[in-house]
Amino acid sequence: MPEGHTIHKIAKDHSKLLVGRPIGVSSPQGRFAESAMRIDGAFLNRIEPRGKHLFYEWDSGEVGHVHLGLFGKFRVQVGPTLNDPIGEVRMRLTTETETAEIVTIDLSGPTICSLDAPDVRISILARLGPDPLRRNSKPDRMIDKIRASDRGIGDLIMDQSVVAGVGNVYRAEALFVLGIHPLKPGREFEVDELEALWETIRTMLRRGVSDGRIVTVSRDEVGIGRGRPIPREEATYAYKRDHCLKCGDEIRRIEIANRICYFCPTHQAR
């Protein structure tokens, strides 16, 4: 499932192509057809990312809501012609650039693709924890929820009502960098420890937006010079590794809330 950095990058990239323009909206697959008709030709005022959610604010006053889930993806095309959709396209957005090129953004396989009244968006946002990628977001709510819980930290930071946007990769990597065992109960944390966790997550997510992919290691640590991409299998400290990048110890795997969590027993002793 895409983590928060992917959602924020999608919002940033798509905003450049769509916001402030009249948008053709259709549903080649048909499942979004009724909603598409209501906003076809409307101007898109804003795309707001929040955690793993995307909200599309239309000038009609309605708000589109997309959650990619495990299988959702966007396909973006910019060119002289409008191409036929590929696969089961739930929602197609089209517009023209200043140079008369056609922009096409196709959405396939999302968990959620809906058009709602503004109060639906408000209720969704109220259920989400703070998003570390939002400019003025503060960790207070996250800290309070964690310190009031007996659940393990590896479970808590994947809970979108605690902190929005963290997925399996950033969970493993942030906890590794800070030497935190994923089963450490929330009640055992001091405020300054959780502030450090927030800053670590935020730094990693920001790098993910900038790089367009998840890379948590430095080039020096993996011996790859500038100008060469860091391979996916070398881009993390613990996630999906057989051995710890730092000490070489065997990476352990435990199941937390039906997801596999990776950690180093040496660097993250309980």
CATH, residue 234 = 1.10.8.50
pLDDT of 99 strictly over 90: no
pTM exceeding 0.85: yes
Out of 147, 240, 241, 259, which one is annotated catalytic? 259
pLDDT of 1 strictly over 80: no
Domain identity same for 93 and 161: no
Segment 24-35 shows an average pLDDT of 97
Q: How confident is the model at residue 219 (pLDDT cuts 50, 70, 90)?
A: confident
pLDDT of 199 strictly over 90: yes
Give the model's pLDDT for residue 102. Answer: 96
Out of 50, 52, 151, 171, which one is annotated catalytic? 52
Domain identity same for 160 and 121: no
**Boundary (domain end) residue, out of 95, 127, 159:** 127
**Closest by CA position to 55, among listed 121, 129, 131, 106:** 121
Three-state SS letters, 201-257: HHHHHHHHHHHCCCCCCCHHHHCCCCCCCCCHHHCCCCCCCCECCCCCCECEEEEEC
Whether 2 sits among the annotated catalytic residues: the reply is yes
Q: What percent of the chain has pLDDT over 90?
A: 87
* CA dihedral sign of residues 22, 28, 31, 34: positive
Domain identity same for 123 and 152: no
Give the model's pLDDT for residue 87. Answer: 92
Question: Taking the C-alpha atoms of 261, 264, 268 and 270 in order, what is their torsion angle to the nearest 10 degrees?
Answer: 80
Rounded Cα distance, 188 and 176, in Å: 17
Residue 250: inside a domain, yes or no? Answer: yes
Alpha-carbon distance values, 105 to 98, 182, 261 (Å): 17, 38, 34
And the tokens for 201?
A: 């997550």
Cα 193–166–32 angle (5° rounding)?
155
Q: How confident is the model at residue 154 (pLDDT cuts 50, 70, 90)?
A: very high
DSSP 42: P
Whether 246 sits among the annotated catalytic residues: the reply is no
Give the model's pLDDT for residue 259. Answer: 93
- Please spell the DSSP secondary structure of 139-205, one letter per residue: SHHHHHHHHT--SBHHHHTT-TTTSSS--HHHHHHHHHHTT--TT-BGGG--HHHHHHHHHHHHHHH
Q: How confident is the model at residue 49 (pLDDT cuts 50, 70, 90)?
A: very high
Q: How confident is the model at residue 161 (pLDDT cuts 50, 70, 90)?
A: very high
- 114 alpha carbon, distance to own chain's centre: 19
Sheet holding 102-108, edge to edge: 24-26, 89-96, 102-108, 73-79
CATH number at residue 50: 3.20.190.10
Domain identity same for 152 and 112: no
Rounded Cα distance, 40 and 42, in Å: 6
Structural domain for 153, as ranges: 140-263
Residue 145: inside a domain, yes or no? Answer: yes
Segment 125-153 shows an average pLDDT of 97
Determine phi and psi for 50, rounding to 5 degrees.
Answer: -150, 110
- Please spell the DSSP secondary structure of 94-108, one letter per residue: EEE-TTSPEEEEEEE
Residue 133: inside a domain, yes or no? Answer: no
**Boundary (domain end) residue, out of 99, 127, 155:** 127
Domain identity same for 55 and 84: yes
Domain identity same for 104 and 165: no
Give the model's pLDDT for residue 231. Answer: 87
Residue 132: inside a domain, yes or no? Answer: no
Residue 202: inside a domain, yes or no? Answer: yes
Give the model's pLDDT for residue 208. Answer: 95
**Boundary (domain end) residue, out of 76, 101, 127:** 127
Residue 249: inside a domain, yes or no? Answer: yes
Residue 157: inside a domain, yes or no? Answer: yes
